[in-house]
Amino acid sequence: MPTGGRGHRVRGTTKTGIGMRIVLVRGDITAEAADAVVNAANSSLLGGGGVDGAIHRKGGPEILADCRRLRSSHYGRGLPTGRAVATTAGRLPARHVIHTVGPVWSRDEDRSELLASCYREALRVADELGDRTVAFPAISTGVYGWPMDDGARIAVETVRAAETEVEEVRFVLFDATAYAAFEAALAG
């Protein structure tokens, strides 16, 4: 398998005539130097646990201040599930944080389209901002309970099918289990 510039495993894919690299990284998304880092946010946009808490802690008060401005203007009731919005990246090594609210997994209701929407909407926002490298976490696979294999499949299929100007998507995965699930999804 080819490797990227920093020793990351890489699989290339092409869609709609535009070349896009998909890179898997096992590590901390708050350490990724990218144009945009995607936050698996809660609807309040005011921080929380997991990826959301880590991004707010490491990014500093500038991110929270931007989120508060968004809440007081456009998103008084919070950001709807499946939508995305951008803020400054504060102290993170990125230009922007793109916040998206993933769905809570349910045995009784298929919410796959909402999860796919998180990835599509984040790429749409990245395009609007001119961002060409985007780092994603495994949205909804933590406390929201989405099964990792299915979450990886939806993420990879959605990114591959997206019409975007983004040149590189990085899936930044916290542990070996998540990495293996995304590696299998890329191979499928």
Summarised one tens digit per residue, pLDDT across range 44-57 is 999 988 999 999 99
First to last CA, the chain: 15
Summarised one tens digit per residue, pLDDT across range 12-41 is 443 333 579 999 999 999 999 999 999 999
* Averaged confidence pLDDT in the chain: 91
Q: Does residue 124 carry a pLDDT above 70? A: yes
Conformation bin of residue 106: beta by default, left when phi > 0, alpha when psi is -120 to 50: beta
**Active centre residues (catalytic):** 52
Answer whether 36's CB lies under 8 Å from 134's CB: yes
Question: In whole angstroms, what is the distance from residue 166 CA to residue 36 CA?
Answer: 10
Phi, psi of 59 (to 5 degrees): -75, -20
Question: In whole angstroms, what is the distance from residue 20 CA to residue 162 CA?
Answer: 10
Q: Does residue 176 carry a pLDDT above 70? A: yes
Answer whether 151's CB lies under 8 Å from 116's CB: no
The sign of the CA dihedral 137, 140, 146, 151 is negative
Prediction pTM value: 0.90
76/18: higher pLDDT: 76
Strands, E assignment, the chain: 9-15, 18-26, 34-41, 84-88, 94-101, 133-136, 168-173
